[in-house]
């Protein structure tokens, strides 16, 4: 089904062994094709999604045999998700696999491709990999923003999905990002400890801000190199909040270069970036060797241009 016009009657799903312990919002993202994520969240909030006849929250975990009822979705949207994944795109994504075993695949996602299709996106990383591999069971273990490049973990087995999501929840998987931020960060190392609150704009777009009413959020920052107008930082989120690194950077006066949502009005006199300068560069997973993805060419090029602007000495 490819548009919200296909969901104008009551829809039922039954949870099987492959979806056990999956969140209801993630379950619906992969099944209500063509329905914007903001609309799905609203359906859940308004009680239009029921599990075993009961209202649920977005984070509710599913169990085998659960009966899910989705009320009719009464609006139309142009079909933008029916575009098939071309062989060229599928093979390009396969070439970006940096680690694979019988249960786990790690892909170095390029900037500009979403991790999954929907909300006006023709296809995403997961759809492309399913098309390229022919595997029915490939599931995202976690997500990164569409404009962020770098490492994404994908499970090939239900058991691996559950194990690694548990490790993420327990903060036992260390993720490190490379970020180019505006201005010169003064401290070589710092822990940004600011609670973050998610909210929605009038158009349904989700945003995040620092708020005492938000959830506890911590990010460890380490300066890698300072330039005249920017700083290369290695950021390790110690919690897993939406847009955490971006909003924490903004909170200390150093928003990310190329960010059109947070801090875009902050002055920046360096070379213009092609995109959000955030790259998931390293994964440290218990029981696995450290997995790394080098800085992509566009960010390497920007760093070279910044160095040419009479950069300060790199931090050891």
pLDDT (tens digit, 9 = 90+) per residue, 173-200? 999 999 999 999 999 999 999 999 988 8
Domain boundaries, the chain: 11-70, 87-161, 171-312
Tell me the pLDDT tens digit for each residue of 24-74: 998 998 888 778 888 898 899 989 999 999 999 999 999 999 999 999 886
- DSSP track, 176-194: EEEEEEES----SEEEEE-
pLDDT score, position 206: 83
Instruction: With cut-offs at 50, 70 and 90, classify the pLDDT of residue 127.
Output: confident
Instruction: With cut-offs at 50, 70 and 90, classify the pLDDT of residue 77.
Output: very low
The reply to whether 11-70 and 87-161 are identical in fold is no
Residue from 48, 253, 269, 278 nearest 180 by CA: 278
Q: Does domain 171-312 have CATH number 3.30.2350.10?
A: yes
Residue 83 in this model has a pLDDT that exceeds 50: no
The CATH code belonging to domain 87-161 is 3.30.2350.10
Which ranges of the chain would DSSP assign to H, the alpha helix? 24-31, 37-45, 87-94, 125-133, 158-169, 244-251, 297-307
Residue from 240, 224, 116 nearest 166 by CA: 240
Question: Does the reported pTM lie above 0.85?
Answer: no
CA 172 to chain centre: 18
Give how far Cα 105 sits from Cα of 78, 154, 161, 230, 231, Å: 33, 5, 11, 34, 32
Cβ(218)–Cβ(238) under 8 Å?
A: yes
Mean pLDDT of 237-266: 95
Catalytic residue among 25, 66, 145, 147: 145
Pick the CATH number of 11-70 from 3.30.360.10, 3.10.290.10, 3.90.79.10, 1.10.10.10: 3.10.290.10
Let me know how long the chain is. 316
- Considering only residues 87 and 102, tell me which one the structure prediction assigns the higher pLDDT: 102
Q: Is 259 a catalytic residue?
A: no
């Amino acid at each position: 089904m490819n548009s919200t016009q296909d969901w104008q009657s009551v829809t039922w799903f039954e949870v099987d062994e492959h979806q056990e312990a999956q969140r209801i919002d993630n379950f619906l993202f992969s099944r209500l094709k063509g329905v914007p994520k903001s609309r799905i969240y609203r359906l859940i909030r308004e009680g239009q999604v029921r599990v075993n006849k009961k209202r649920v929250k977005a984070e509710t975990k599913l169990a085998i045999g659960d009966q899910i009822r989705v009320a009719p979705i009464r609006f139309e949207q142009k079909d933008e998700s029916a575009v098939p994944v071309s062989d060229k795109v599928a093979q390009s994504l396969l070439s970006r696999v940096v680690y694979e075993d019988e249960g786990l695949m790690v892909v170095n996602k390029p900037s500009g491709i979403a991790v999954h299709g929907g909300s006006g996106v023709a296809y995403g990383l997961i759809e492309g990999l399913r098309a390229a591999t022919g595997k029915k069971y490939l599931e995202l273990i976690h997500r990164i923003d569409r404009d962020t490049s770098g490492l994404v973990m994908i499970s090939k087995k239900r058991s691996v999905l559950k194990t690694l999501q548990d490790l993420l929840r327990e903060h036992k998987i260390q993720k490190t990002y490379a970020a180019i931020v505006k201005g010169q960060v003064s401290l070589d190392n710092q822990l940004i400890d600011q609670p973050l609150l998610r909210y929605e704009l009038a158009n349904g777009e989700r945003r995040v801000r620092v708020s005492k009413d938000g959830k506890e959020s911590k990010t460890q920052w380490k300066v890698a190199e300072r330039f005249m107008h920017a700083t290369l930082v290695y950021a390790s989120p110690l919690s897993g909040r939406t847009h955490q690194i971006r909003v924490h950077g903004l909170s200390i006066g150093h928003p990310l270069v190329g960010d059109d949502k947070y801090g875009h009005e902050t002055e920046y006199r360096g070379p213009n970036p092609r995109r959000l300068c955030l790259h998931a560069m390293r994964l440290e997973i218990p029981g696995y060797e450290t997995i790394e993805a080098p800085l992509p060419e566009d960010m390497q090029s920007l760093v070279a241009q910044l160095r040419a602007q009479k950069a300060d000495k790199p931090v050891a």
